[in-house]
Structure 1
């Protein structure tokens, strides 16, 4: 009888404190592994964007230069070494006509119609991923590349090689678009020929900046944010730069008419007057998008 009672008590006993501690520890490890797994997956996607898309476009740009002796969209018989130089003019005549530049020096300041960006279609409308968008050139990026036999990265597929789709940290699909343009001397995002990369979340922009020039500084280096206000004081020269603006919780301005500039304001379709301090910061919103300039070697 005594043995039966002991067995009944043993069967009714609950978990010990040690057992509960072990269960909670295992649950914590599982949750931590899931959270770390998301970060690992996101970093893997960022690495893929860098290695298999943007780096490949950099190689395509360099290959175009090697094959033609000029940068993308320049005229071969009288090169300007400016992207889209074919559409520029100098001395009252088209740049590709020798007579046009005989009266003036062939330096960028004497050319007209410079700075138009060469893309494959409009993609994002002006102002959707930051201010300072240049006018679209008449020449098409894909047409120029295929005309000279330059192999482009696959991108989204045939005819959409300049695009790449990824997910932002809130799970919304986002498209990167690549264009090329020439920036005049004094441009804060870098002078000379640049790759224009549109549709970057702040996290992705910081990652790419680290990969390209080793520091996540949106004002300095070879990878910079488009349309950043310039330092105007002498004491600012060669001083610390500026961090990439915004964060990964505020809504982007797609569907709106503004941008999350230095005033930290984010405009979204459902957030017409919101700011980071008082507006929407929901994890279902599209993350704010930025445009960057990657300075090319030629």
Structure 2
């Protein structure tokens, strides 16, 4: 049988000890959250450097070598190329996947329009099977397939790179990288409208964005 002295020595945690434990747990949780933020920031920078910036370089190099706009397919003839990007496989309609593939492969033989391959340029290597798409996992855990095309705004009269299925959180990050501000209406990286639109408040809701081009 245990004595009263032995029972008296079985003390629990003091308030100070519990406070210290809670502080340590808080530090660990904070480090984990911060780590996730750093990983997400690195992934967002990778989308810029490995995908959309690479496609911008392709666009500029194509123009430098040919004097033509990448994605200007119009009617497939020399006379039909009007300097307006449409990425639509021979028509002046909304961008199509066939047109996106032609950005690298070029259209059918006999047409004036050329793709990157015809002039010795390579398309960006992405984390999907298609060079015009990139997989990005948002902070909600959803995998989003970003898709690019080149298009022309008939009212604003400018060519632009269109990025579809892009989460608001990534739009804000890219806008900050490109324009040093994240409003979706000022600068070159804007919401998908002639003069831009503000980014949404839900970080994981997908939208479309455009990067205005010089020519």
TM interval, shorter chain, is 0.7 to 0.9
Q: Are the counterparts in 1 of residues 162 and 209 from structure 2 also a CA contact under 8 Å?
A: yes
SS at match of 2:70: coil
Aligned partners of 2:33, 2:88: CA distance in 1, in Å? 51
RMSD over equivalenced CA pairs, Å:
2.9
- Partner deviation per Cα, 1:51-108 (whole Å, 9 max, x = no partner): 11111111111111111111114489666322259988xxxxxxxxxxxxxxxxxxxx
RCO higher in structure (CA 8 A, sep ≥6): 1
* Aligned CA distance change for structure 1 residues 242 and 195 (closer, same or farther; 3 Å): closer
Matches within 5 A, 1:1-298: 6=5, 9-10=8-9, 12-74=10-72, 80-84=82-86, 114=92, 116-118=93-95, 120-121=97-98, 140-143=102-105, 144-157=115-128, 160-186=130-156, 191-227=157-193, 243-248=198-203, 287-298=204-215
* Aligned CA distance change for structure 1 residues 242 and 60 (closer, same or farther; 3 Å): closer
Higher-helix-fraction structure:
2
The TM-score normalised by the length of structure 1 is 0.59
- Count the aligned residue pairs: 200
The TM-score normalised by the length of structure 2 is 0.80
Aligned partners of 1:49, 1:167: CA distance in 2, in Å? 11
SS at match of 2:125: coil
Q: Are the counterparts in 1 of residues 160 and 213 from structure 2 also a CA contact under 8 Å?
A: yes
1:242 Cα deviation (Å)? 5.4
SS at match of 2:49: helix
Aligned partners of 1:221, 1:70: CA distance in 2, in Å? 25
SS at match of 2:62: helix
